[in-house]
Amino acid sequence: MKDKPLCTLHLVLYDICYDKYVSIHTVLLKGAQLNFSRWLPPVLFDSWLTIINEVFSYSYNNLRDLIIWKNGLKDTFSTKSAYDSITSTDSGQTFSHIWSSKIPHRIKIFMWLVENGVILTKDNMIKRNWSGSPACFFCSADENIEHLFFTCPVAKATWGIVGTSIGANNIPSTLTQYKNWIRRWLPGGNPVYTFGLSAICWAIYKRPK
């Protein structure tokens, strides 16, 4: 209904319904007499009536049922369309700038982890019950993504070299600042946004320790 499953549109009703996998055909045959684990209070009963009204008001035909994938090209399933569906947010964020870039696949995955904030920096490892020191290997500050790739003295030196080579008079200190920084100092910088960021971050991440 509305291109979304009932388990997301009507979570409570779905949760207390015993007939979770019943077909629409069976619902029609049974006159919408489904079994719930408890009596429906007025709010839930109104929601249930809304569902039933939509089911019975739909114009059905006698053709054979077909399984289609609404999120795919020509209603067919593909791994890409499934990934796009589960990674899209309300703002349409699908990380296409990473997956469509001409960089090695393992670095695409690395950049996806970076931009999602889940790369294994020390702060993230501590969240996973790692018992090591949170301090950066090169300085006394606690290591996190922004520190590792932007504010650590070693990272700043790397960005300084890059900035000097493109004529910039400053360097970025966060991923968000990098996006504006590259557009400012490289006219038409969008095409090299991911390529440049991945090259620098990969070099910093793989630096000798």
Q: What is the pLDDT of residue 61?
A: 77
- Is residue 91 one of the residues assigned to a domain? no
pLDDT at 202: 87
Residue 82 lies in a domain: no
The CA-to-CA distance between both ends of the chain, in Å, stands at 55
Confidence (pLDDT) at 54: 86
107 and 194 in a single domain? The answer is: yes
pLDDT tens sequence across 148-184: 999 999 999 999 998 998 888 999 999 889 888 888 8
Asked if 99 and 108 count as a contact pair (C-beta separation under 8 A), the reply is yes
Q: Range of 46's domain? A: 6-57
Residues 35 and 126 grouped into a single domain:
no
- Tell me the β-bridge partners of 36: 17
Statement to judge: residues 128 and 192 lie in one domain: yes
The answer to whether residues 53 and 137 belong to one domain is no
Domain contains 130: yes
At what angle are helices 153-166 and 193-205 packed, to 10 degrees?
140
Residue 146 CB partners (closer than 8 Å, separation 6+): 173, 174, 175
Q: What is the pLDDT of residue 179?
A: 83
On whether both 105 and 51 belong to a single domain, the answer is no
Residue ranges in the chain whose pLDDT is less than 50: none
What does the alpha-carbon distance between residue 198 and residue 98 come to, in Å, rounded to a whole number?
A: 9
- Record the pTM: 0.56
Question: Is residue 89 one of the residues assigned to a domain?
Answer: no
> Are residues 179 and 112 located together in one domain of the fold?
yes
Q: Residue 111, CB half-sphere, CA atoms under 13 Å: how many?
A: 26
Domain assignment of residue 64, yes or no: no
pLDDT of residue 140: 85
pLDDT of residue 150: 93
Same domain? 105 vs 193: yes
pLDDT for 147 equals 94
